[in-house]
């Protein structure tokens, strides 16, 4: 790549006059310049290494506030039967304040209409009531930032006419001095009250405690990886009161292991995002979710196609319909499709654009399909049920301040 | 890409500390600060999507704590 | 010295800030006027005009700057030479083609700090300097950096404790941000001026960057940049850019320039100096001296 540069090698003006390099210090020479010595703090000698801080960035609150409005629309169906529609306008605000704090709040109103998936024709009459519900949920989170970490506390409240949930959680993160490794830990507790419309569940209660431990690691200037373990311990009412016979255990412990990797590709300014989550719970369900996304900026637009594959094994107490012979009262049982073995694929694309003045807009469309024969890996196949399909869309507008 | 990267990935997945991997100094972190490279994402998008999957699929978790429950039927 | 200047200060009041800005501006203009090549009435022009003639008497500041230039020449083994400015007459970076070797050789005869005669200051007479006929000096590589340090001193005298002075990329920090956090400074990507290639955080001290992209042209697949070796008369060939952090911007600037003049020996030179530095080599790879963890 570099040919011999003869011209640079030939000193031509009396090279014999060039002095051997002197070991004098430029700094001591410069201190003789008028007025400069006085500008050095007495501590400079001791702090010379600190001039180039190895603590890359202090943990900082966001440097601007942001407000987002989003409208979400969800529609699912099984062949021949339109099922559930959800319309959910939502609001989100994030604002730094008092130099080392930030507050974040979100409010979502889900208007749910339609029926939930049913697999027993025997029950179609009872659920003919359909589901028409309004769920309002809000949460507030306060975060305090420190030099290499942050601590946050969040309160969440959600209410629909048959279910009220209140949750409080705390999370903390701490980074190593070089900021390449961040440890995260969190704990939360939720108390839910259930009073079903059909009075099957009255004054029921569920309480859940969640724990999280995670690590985020910078691997290269273009790679960052995160891995989190969560464990949730729950007691209370888990059955579905709207299914004719649905008796689930009164406790559920859940374990999840999520690993995500973001990889930046300089040549096209694009980012590859991969994630894998393994799940296992005391209902006997094992599941794996794999997601891949490609984020591609093009001028002021960003286009993000995504593909997700999910597979789950059936719960221990799931039985294919029809109602099984030899069922013993007191055993847990459910024919809820969501507890069966199936695989699902989501294909989506998101388009985002940023405008002058900190305005942003985005649109996302996703298509989702669940099928028994797409299930791989865990447990045995369930009896094929009608494939379940859904579409969801989001359209959002936001502004940074 | 350095050849050490796949090895590093395996070690990460086993959840051990990675001080052995080449440490990235502050001035090389420009790309890591891009929004697409963070794990935060779009808050409303993530909430909505996780909520749908939790209710239609029965597996959940891994992302964070808190958020409460719902009678997602 | 026509390059963009940026000054950021956090002051207790608008009035204090205005007062400090005024002091900084006056000091920078003073130095620029005094050492400008383009002003016939500058001290520099006076020295150059008298080349081949009688020694020129020097004020303290100019004598000190020339002493510093001598130290740089010594320390760099003759690579940093303030008499090498005459090469400008054959290297025209707007012409986009290299000069003929004979043209360069003709100019080389007029270069060489060892030929400058300087008189030391004594009780009887001020310091003095005499150039041989045809020679010229200029403070490129020292002047702007010195002005940054002097501007910082002016700000401190005006009561400012938080801020920085940035004269065309040569930076001297007055003090960290008001809340104690350092300033976040980006290093320009040597091959893409719209991007930064690195960031660092500075709460005190000086930072200067020297690169092969400030003034250059490419001819037949080779890059010719404005950093010229005074002994061969041809541009150096080595790292794309060197940034140095030192207590004084003057030192950071000379150190970075001398490093670039060392070509592929830049890394070895910088390691010897002991300052924190960032070097982007000829292939664009980043080498940096990190601190003990």
**Closest Cα of chain C to A198: distance in Å?**
59
| Number of domains present in the structure of chain C | 1
Domain that holds residue C273: 143-284
Q: Does pLDDT of B18 surpass 60? A: no
| Distance in angstroms (rounded) separating the CA atoms of residues A336 and B55 | 12
Highest mean pLDDT among A78-82, A348-352, B61-65: A348-352
Write down the domain spans for chain A.
59-400
| Distance in angstroms (rounded) separating the CA atoms of residues A380 and A15 | 85
DSSP string of chain C? ----EEEEEE-SSHHHHHHHHHHHHHHHHHHHHHT-SS-TTSHHHHHHHTTTSSPEE--HHHHHHHHHHHHHHHHTTTSS-TTGGGGGGT--TTT-SPPPHHHHHHHHTT--GGG-EEEPP-SSS--EEEPPTT-----TTTHHHHHHHHHHHHHHHTT--EEEEEETTEEEEEE--TTSPPEEEEEEETTEEEEEEEEEEESSEEEEEEETTSSEEEETTEEEES-B-TTT-SB--S-SEEEEEESSHHHHHHHHHHHHHTGGGHHHHHHHH--EEEEE-TTS-EEE-PPP-
Task: Tell whether C133 is covered by a domain.
Answer: no
Which residues of chain C does A11 touch, with a Cβ-Cβ cutoff of 8 Å?
A: 231-232
Average pLDDT, chain A: 80
Task: Tell whether C19 is covered by a domain.
Answer: no
* Per-residue model confidence as pLDDT tens digits over C62-93: 999 999 999 999 999 999 999 999 998 899 88
Which residues of chain A does B22 touch, with a Cβ-Cβ cutoff of 8 Å?
A: 220
Which residues of chain A does C106 touch, with a Cβ-Cβ cutoff of 8 Å?
A: none
Report the residue of chain A nearest B23, measured CA to CA: A180
Question: Quick one: how far is CA A260 from the chain centroid?
Answer: 10
Which residues of chain A does C233 touch, with a Cβ-Cβ cutoff of 8 Å?
A: 12
Average pLDDT over residues C188-201: 74
C251 in reach of chain A (CB within 8 A): yes
Report the residue of chain C nearest A31, measured CA to CA: C248
Task: Tell whether C228 is covered by a domain.
Answer: yes
pLDDT number for residue A4: 38
Check A186 against B65: CB less than 8 A apart: yes
Task: Tell whether C55 is covered by a domain.
Answer: no
C246 in reach of chain A (CB within 8 A): yes
**Closest Cα of chain A to C206: distance in Å?**
9
Check C233 against A12: CB less than 8 A apart: yes
**Closest Cα of chain C to A76: distance in Å?**
46
* Per-residue model confidence as pLDDT tens digits over A267-310: 898 999 999 999 999 999 999 999 999 999 998 899 999 999 99
* Per-residue model confidence as pLDDT tens digits over C226-235: 899 999 999 9
| Distance in angstroms (rounded) separating the CA atoms of residues B48 and A108 | 9
CATH number attached to the domain at A59-400: 2.40.160.40
A289 in reach of chain B (CB within 8 A): yes
pLDDT number for residue A336: 74
Task: Tell whether C250 is covered by a domain.
Answer: yes
Residue that the structure tokens 């020479």 belong to? A29
Q: What is the CATH number of the domain that holds C179?
A: 3.10.520.10
A129 in reach of chain C (CB within 8 A): no
Task: Tell whether C91 is covered by a domain.
Answer: no
- Cβ neighbours for C13, distance < 8 A, ≥ 6 positions apart: none
* B28 → closest Cβ in C195, C201, C286: C286
The pLDDT confidence band at residue A57, using thresholds 50, 70 and 90, is very low
Predicted TM-score of the model (pTM): 0.56
Check C250 against A99: CB less than 8 A apart: no
Task: Tell whether C277 is covered by a domain.
Answer: yes
Which residues of chain C does B27 touch, with a Cβ-Cβ cutoff of 8 Å?
A: 187, 197-200, 278, 286, 288
For residue A44, the SS3 value is: helix
Q: Which two tokens stand for residue A103?
A: 């507050």
Which residues of chain B does C187 touch, with a Cβ-Cβ cutoff of 8 Å?
A: 27
Residues 9-48 of B with CB under 8 A from C: 25-30
Which residues of chain C does A21 touch, with a Cβ-Cβ cutoff of 8 Å?
A: 74-77
Mutate to test the interface with B, among C190, C198, C201 (most CBs of B within 10 A): C198
Question: Quick one: how far is CA C73 from the chain centroid?
Answer: 13
């Amino acid at each position: 790549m570099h040919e011999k540069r003869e011209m640079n090698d030939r000193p031509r003006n009396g090279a014999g006059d060039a002095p051997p390099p002197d070991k004098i210090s430029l700094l001591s020479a410069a201190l003789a310049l008028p007025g400069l010595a006085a500008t050095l703090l007495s501590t400079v000698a001791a702090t010379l290494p600190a001039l180039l801080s190895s603590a890359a960035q202090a943990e900082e609150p966001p440097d601007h506030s942001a407000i987002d409005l989003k409208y979400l629309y969800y529609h699912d169906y099984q062949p021949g039967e339109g099922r559930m529609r959800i319309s959910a306008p939502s609001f989100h605000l994030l604002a730094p304040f008092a130099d080392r704090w930030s507050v974040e709040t979100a409010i979502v109103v889900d208007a749910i209409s339609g029926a939930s998936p049913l697999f027993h024709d025997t029950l179609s009459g009872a659920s003919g009531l359909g589901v028409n519900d309004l769920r309002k949920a809000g949460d507030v989170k306060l975060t305090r930032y420190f030099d290499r970490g942050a601590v946050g506390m969040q309160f969440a409240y959600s209410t629909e006419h048959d279910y009220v949930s209140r949750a409080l959680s705390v999370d903390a993160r701490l980074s190593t001095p070089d900021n390449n490794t961040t440890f995260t830990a969190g704990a939360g507790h939720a108390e839910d009250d259930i009073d079903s419309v059909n009075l099957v569940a009255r004054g029921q209660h569920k309480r859940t405690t969640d724990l999280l431990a995670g690590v985020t690691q910078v691997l290269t200037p273009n790679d960052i990886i995160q891995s989190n373990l969560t464990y949730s311990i729950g007691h209370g009412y888990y059955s579905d009161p709207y299914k004719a016979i649905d008796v689930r255990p009164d406790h559920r412990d859940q374990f999840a292991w999520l690993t995500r990797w973001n990889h930046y590709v300089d040549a096209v300014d694009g980012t590859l995002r991969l994630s894998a989550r393994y799940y296992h719970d005391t209902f006997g369900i094992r599941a794996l979710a794999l997601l891949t996304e490609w984020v591609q900026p093009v001028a002021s637009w960003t286009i993000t196609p995504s593909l997700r594959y999910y597979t789950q094994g059936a719960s221990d107490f799931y039985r294919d319909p029809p109602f099984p012979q030899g069922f013993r009262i007191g055993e847990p049982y459910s024919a809820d499709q969501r507890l069966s073995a199936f695989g699902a694929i989501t294909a989506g694309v998101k388009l985002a654009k940023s405008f002058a003045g900190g305005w942003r807009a985005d649109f996302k469309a996703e298509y989702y399909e669940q099928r028994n024969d797409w299930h791989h890996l865990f447990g045995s196949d369930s009896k094929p049920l009608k494939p379940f399909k859904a579409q969801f869309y989001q359209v959002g507008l936001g502004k940074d301040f | 890409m350095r050849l050490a990267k796949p090895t590093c990935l395996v070690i990460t997945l086993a959840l051990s500390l990675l001080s052995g991997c080449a440490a990235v100094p502050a001035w090389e972190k420009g790309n890591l600060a891009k929004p697409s490279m963070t794990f935060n994402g779009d808050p409303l998008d993530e909430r909505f999507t996780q909520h749908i999957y939790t209710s239609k699929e029965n597996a959940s978790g891994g992302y964070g704590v808190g958020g409460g429950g719902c009678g997602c039927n | 010295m026509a390059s963009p200047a940026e000054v950021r200060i956090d002051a207790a009041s608008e009035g204090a800030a205005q007062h400090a800005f005024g002091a900084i501006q006056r000091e920078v203009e003073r130095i620029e006027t005094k050492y400008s090549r383009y002003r016939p009435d500058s001290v520099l022009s006076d020295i150059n005009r008298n080349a081949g003639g009688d020694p020129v008497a020097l004020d303290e500041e100019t004598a000190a700057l020339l002493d510093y230039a001598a130290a740089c020449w010594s320390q760099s083994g003759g690579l940093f030479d303030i008499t090498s400015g005459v090469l400008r007459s054959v290297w025209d970076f707007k012409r986009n083609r290299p000069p003929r070797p004979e043209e360069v050789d003709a100019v080389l005869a007029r270069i060489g700090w060892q030929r400058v005669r300087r008189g030391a200051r004594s009780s009887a007479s001020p310091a003095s300097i005499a150039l041989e006929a045809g020679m010229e000096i200029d403070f490129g590589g020292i002047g702007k950096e010195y002005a940054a340090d002097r501007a910082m001193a002016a700000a401190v005298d005006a009561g400012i404790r938080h801020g920085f002075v940035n004269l065309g990329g040569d930076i001297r920090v007055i003090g960290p941000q008001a809340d104690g956090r350092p300033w976040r400074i980006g290093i320009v990507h040597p091959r893409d001026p719209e991007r930064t290639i690195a960031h660092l955080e500075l709460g005190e001290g000086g930072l200067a960057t020297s690169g092969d992209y400030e003034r250059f042209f490419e001819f037949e697949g080779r890059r010719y940049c404005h950093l010229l070796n005074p002994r061969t008369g041809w541009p150096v060939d080595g790292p794309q850019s060197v940034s140095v952090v030192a207590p004084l911007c003057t030192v950071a600037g000379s150190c970075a320039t001398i490093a670039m003049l060392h070509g592929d020996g830049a890394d070895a030179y910088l390691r010897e100096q002991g300052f924190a530095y960032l070097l982007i080599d000829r292939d664009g790879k980043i080498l940096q001296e990190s601190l003990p963890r």
